[in-house]
Structure 1
Amino acid sequence: MAGPIDAPEAPRSAESRLQQALTAARLYYVQGLTMESIARELRVSRSSVSRLIQHARDVGLVEIRVHAPHEHGASLEHEIRSRFHVTAHVVPAGAGVSEVDRLERVAMTAGRLVGEFFDSNMSLGVAWGSTIAAVSRHLPTRDTHGTTVVQLNGAGNTLTSGVGLASEILERFGTAFGADVQQFPVPAFFDDPRTKEAMWRERSTRRVLRIQDRLDIALFGLGSPLAAVPSRVYVGGYLERADYQSLREDRAVGDVSTVFFRADGTSEDIALNARGTGPAINRLRRIPRRICVVSGLPKLPAVRGALAAGVATDLVIDEALAQALVAD
């Protein structure tokens, strides 16, 4: 007759599975038991133990950290902190890694950090884009209460409402943390600054702006017309030929949440910013924690400009880009 390890397992509730995953994780990581020993103790199969431990990692019960203070990545993080006064999280990615895989590695690290920083009774502002879309696919699942995820900038243009793009990203954050989701249903850029001024007086718009003003965390990538993984604002029909000419004349090197800046970090008199819907950089700087996620050497000018503008408190960056940043 089959023993208990081989017997079919009864269905478990989500709470029961979470508790069993926690027990399995403690036995494996803290007490150092083998999966076979854990299987005997919990009276389940060895494959079930493997799934429980994976579930514990997926939902954030387990965090794996590697501390290597003498390795190159750690020294890069220290140098970036010293020079630019931000906390750097350097992600290893060798020269043979494709730009898409490089972005995915950076996004995985950023997703883990958001899971560490974002907690109950907090609000998180999220900028849409290729980078943050990647981050949204790597979020840990963790129950919180009293939390809000809000869209930082509009996403509509003459080709699309942008609702699908932004809502998909926001819903992933909302689902991961059990948070309330607040969309910002306005264009990425208005045709006329006066239209934006009028819209900003509307009560429905002011409600979202008030939520943005009380954010605990902002999460964003950096737009760049040079990126190998194209920034959506430059390839998604948001800008016309006259807009590009205007940005060249104003010497813009990149954008954060569709707000453009120069290499020296200035942004106030860039013409297109009067029509953009993202938070102005001086408004963004009021948010206590600001996580900037960036990968790829072509984004170096944008990173330098963003750091000069003081938009970030935390910088998640791939190793090659970090090396280039401190090379000067």
Structure 2
Amino acid sequence: MDEVDEGRDGAFRVDRAHTAAHLYYVQNRTMDAIARELRTSRSTVSRLLSYARAQGIVDIRIRSPHEAPHTLESRLAARFGVTAHVVPMPGDLPEPERLTRVALGAAHVIHDLVHSELTVGVAWGSTLAAVSTHLIPKSVHDTTFVQLNGSGNTYTTGLLYASEILSRFGEAYGGSVQQFPVPAFFDDPETKRLLWRERSTRRILETQQKMGLVVFSVGSATARVRSHVYSGGFLDPADLNALAADGVVGDVATVFYRADGSSDGIALNERATGPDFAAFREVARRCCIVAGESKLTSLRGAIAAGLVTDLVIDEGTARALVEND
């Protein structure tokens, strides 16, 4: 049985993976040559390289030969003032596959953004659930991941769903996790105001005030891969009718906005547990992850609201964003 499978000391395994990765990616040695040097098999070298990528020892970056000013990323930056990361892919991919590829790209971006002594706000939803399964481990310290908004409704507490996403972030980066055990929406705005005065709730809200990074997507009632807030029993027909009457095009962490980015006067926001947009805009890095043109209108609204500094987006949606603006 070879080195990768026989359960030897973890440090030895990391050292072997690092050596193999350096020989392969930096010194351009072939797998056969590396196998001879390490006195192992070619298949073991392949597994060592896979392990190196999975553990974040190797960070592969692919840059277009056609750099600025004509790339989609540069056009998005010039038009919207965001740092864009466009995930290339053919236009005929089904939405679930598009989401998977964007989630993989987002995992690399988040890997670069997360660092020690950082508080990270994490939203829940279909997109973040996908991203959380592809996170690349990284060794940091004193990093906290805090849930951005409540996840309960009349059918479920939502704690398991949200905690799975948060836990994956905590495990990938060795950070602590802070859940927000409140409903996504209160029945009465007064209930929210009273609970926000409680010390246990204030502790989470104070943690959110320390955020240096937030990771989120935009919700949309018309997305082909339906946003969880619209499909998970959080909104009843009366709520949906009210949102339509208010001209709502989407939400970030269950706080709603219109096409022009405005959110004032939207009654449901008084009962929502997501962060106030004024406070949200104070966070230094705000990474939005979007897959699929069916979220285009919602994304435009979020950008208009000033909620996005970093954008991970599939190629087709990015092209539609700049060409149809």
TM-score range, shorter chain: over 0.9
Q: State which of 312, 315, 322 in structure 1 corresponds to 2:318.
A: 322
Q: State which of 102, 106, 109 in structure 2 corresponds to 1:106.
A: 102
After superposition, where does 1:275-294 map in structure 2 within 5 Å? 275-294=271-290
Is 2:299 aligned against 1:306? Answer: no
Instruction: For residue 6 of structure 1, report the CA deviation from its aligned partner.
Output: 8.3
Is 2:234 aligned against 1:231? Answer: no
- Paired residues of 2:68 and 2:74 also in contact (CA < 8 A): no
Q: State which of 158, 162, 167 in structure 1 corresponds to 2:154.
A: 158
After superposition, where does 1:1-328 map in structure 2 within 5 Å? 11-70=7-66, 75-327=71-323, 328=325
Q: Distance in 2 between matches of 1:87 and 1:323?
A: 15
- Paired residues of 1:263 and 1:304 also in contact (CA < 8 A): yes
- Paired residues of 1:73 and 1:91 also in contact (CA < 8 A): no
Q: Which moved more, 1:271-280 or 1:12-21?
A: 12-21
Identity %, equivalent residues: 55
1:135 alignment partner AA: V
Change (3 A) 1:38 1:164: same
1:90 alignment partner AA: V
- Paired residues of 2:4 and 2:44 also in contact (CA < 8 A): no
User: How big is each residue's C-alpha offset from its partner over 1:173-230, in whole Å with a ceiling of 9 and x where there is no partner?
Assistant: 1111111011000000000000000010010110011111101110001000000001
Instruction: For residue 317 of structure 1, report the CA deviation from its aligned partner.
Output: 0.8
Length, aligned pairs only: 324
1:146 alignment partner AA: D
Q: Distance in 2 between matches of 1:7 and 1:173?
A: 29
Change (3 A) 1:253 1:6: closer
User: How big is each residue's C-alpha offset from its partner over 1:255-313, in whole Å with a ceiling of 9 and x where there is no partner?
Assistant: 00000000000112211000000101111111110000011111111011000001010
Instruction: For residue 72 of structure 1, report the CA deviation from its aligned partner.
Output: 10
User: How big is each residue's C-alpha offset from its partner over 1:236-257, in whole Å with a ceiling of 9 and x where there is no partner?
Assistant: 0000111111111111100000
TM (normalized to structure 1)?
0.95
Q: Distance in 1 between matches of 2:290 and 2:305?
A: 16
Q: Considering only aligned residues, what root-mean-square deviation do their CA atoms show, in Å? A: 1.8
- Paired residues of 1:261 and 1:306 also in contact (CA < 8 A): yes
- Paired residues of 2:23 and 2:29 also in contact (CA < 8 A): yes
Q: Distance in 1 between matches of 2:65 and 2:274?
A: 38
Instruction: For residue 11 of structure 1, report the CA deviation from its aligned partner.
Output: 4.2
Find the residue that maps to 1:326 and give its secondary structure. Answer: helix
Find the residue that maps to 2:250 and give its secondary structure. Answer: strand
TM (normalized to structure 2)?
0.96
User: How big is each residue's C-alpha offset from its partner over 1:17-54, in whole Å with a ceiling of 9 and x where there is no partner?
Assistant: 11111111001111111111111211222111111111
- Paired residues of 2:85 and 2:312 also in contact (CA < 8 A): yes
User: How big is each residue's C-alpha offset from its partner over 1:81-123, in whole Å with a ceiling of 9 and x where there is no partner?
Assistant: 1111001111112222000000111111111111111011111
Runs of 5+ consecutive residues of structure 2 not aligned to the other structure: none
- Paired residues of 2:170 and 2:177 also in contact (CA < 8 A): yes
Find the residue that maps to 1:160 and give its secondary structure. Answer: coil
Change (3 A) 1:82 1:61: same
Runs of 5+ consecutive residues of structure 1 not aligned to the other structure: none
Find the residue that maps to 1:224 and give its secondary structure. Answer: coil
- Paired residues of 2:144 and 2:175 also in contact (CA < 8 A): yes
Find the residue that maps to 2:313 and give its secondary structure. Answer: strand
Q: Segments of 4+ in structure 1 off by > 4 A?
A: 5-11, 71-74
- Paired residues of 1:9 and 1:44 also in contact (CA < 8 A): no
2:240 alignment partner AA: Y
